Amino acid sequence: MRPILDLQGINRVYRTGAGDIHAVRDVSLRIDQGEFVAIMGASGSGKSTMMNTLGCLDQPTSGLFLLDGIDVSKLSPEERAEIRNQKIGFVFQGFNLLARTTARENIELPMLYAHPQFSRSEQERRVDRVLELTGLGDRADHVPSKLSGGQQQRVAIARALVMEPALLLADEPTGNLDTRTSIEIMGAFQALNDQGITIVMVTHELDIAQYTKRNIVMRDGRIISDRKVENRNRSEVEMAKLDREQLAADLAS
């Protein structure tokens, strides 16, 4: 398999007035095409710093980082921004959708920054494809306030996919969602991963991490555990369990 992410001896030190903070320490990590990885760890363990590095939002202090075979440290900030826009889709805890703008228009946004610009028909093809991939077909013309939390997060995922990135990065994507909606979103990620999309996400919830294929745990800036998920949760199975529990509760009341 081809590595999408290849980190060798990565360090990130924040220089602050109160002294240096060594947020990521000597991390070596390889993630291949088609993987679905959860990064876990307590608050302050370096998860967000790692994600910012993987997403080319931040430069490591030392070490080698190859994104899809490209040595990112050798690029100018403009080139890095370009690579980021082409190769990486981001999903955040807070959705970050424009409020007065329909789902379709939110999804089109990243294409406004594309070089060269896509033709109108290519834009439409891409939006239709990601609406289909995220199961949002009939919600395309709704503004965010007319969508449920799960649908809003799916719009954010569709927007992250519209540039057809090599990698989807998500920092606590279920952090603002209730249990049922979190399972729904993990189902959307599983369906995307089944189609070959590589996903790396941060979560502090162990049962959410169980939907992915590989769990990495960080502590004090280091990777302390990295293992394949055995018996991983499937969204449709867990949703059916919730439905049965609800039915039992309804019958008992």
Q: Is 49 in the site for ligand ADP (CB under 6 A)?
A: yes
Q: Minimum distance from CB of 47 to Mg ion (Å)?
A: 5
Q: Minimum distance from CB of 7 to Mg ion (Å)?
A: 18
Residue 29 phi/psi, 5-degree rounding, is: -160, 135
CA dihedral 147, 180, 48, 226 (to 10 degrees): -150
Structure tokens at 171: 């920092």
Closest CB to Mg ion among residues 49, 102: 49
Choose the stretch contacting ligand ADP; rule: CB under 6 A; options: 1-9, 39-47, 118-126, 161-169: 39-47
Q: Is 23 in the site for ligand ADP (CB under 6 A)?
A: yes
E strand or H helix at 244: helix 235-252
Q: Which of 226, 161, 169 has its CA nearest to residue 195?
A: 161
Q: How many CA atoms lie within 13 A of 66 on its CB side?
A: 13
Structure tokens at 224: 């302390």
How many angstroms separate the CA atoms of 84 and 182, rounded?
Answer: 27
Q: Select the binding partner of residue 21 from Mg ion, ligand ADP, none (C-beta < 5 to 8 A, by kind).
A: ligand ADP
Choose the stretch contacting Mg ion; rule: CB under 5 A; options: 45-53, 93-101, 127-135, 236-244: 45-53
Q: Select the binding partner of residue 113 from Mg ion, ligand ADP, none (C-beta < 5 to 8 A, by kind).
A: none
One-letter amino acid identity for 163?
M
**Among the listed residues 1, 43, 69, 77, the single contact to ligand ADP using CB under 6 A:** 43
Choose the stretch contacting Mg ion; rule: CB under 5 A; options: 26-34, 46-54, 81-89, 218-226: 46-54
**Positive or negative: CA dihedral 124, 126, 132, 136:** negative
Cβ-contact 106, 127 below 8 angstroms: no
Choose the stretch contacting ligand ADP; rule: CB under 6 A; options: 16-24, 130-138, 183-191, 232-240: 16-24
Q: Considering CB under 5 A, how many residues would be counted as binding Mg ion? A: 2
**Among the listed residues 1, 16, 17, 249, the single contact to ligand ADP using CB under 6 A:** 16
CA dihedral 209, 62, 66, 127 (to 10 degrees): 60
**Among the listed residues 11, 48, 59, 85, the single contact to Mg ion using CB under 5 A:** 48
Query: Binding residues for ligand ADP, per CB under 6 A?
Result: 14, 16, 21, 23, 41, 43-49
Binding site for Mg ion (CB under 5 A): 47-48
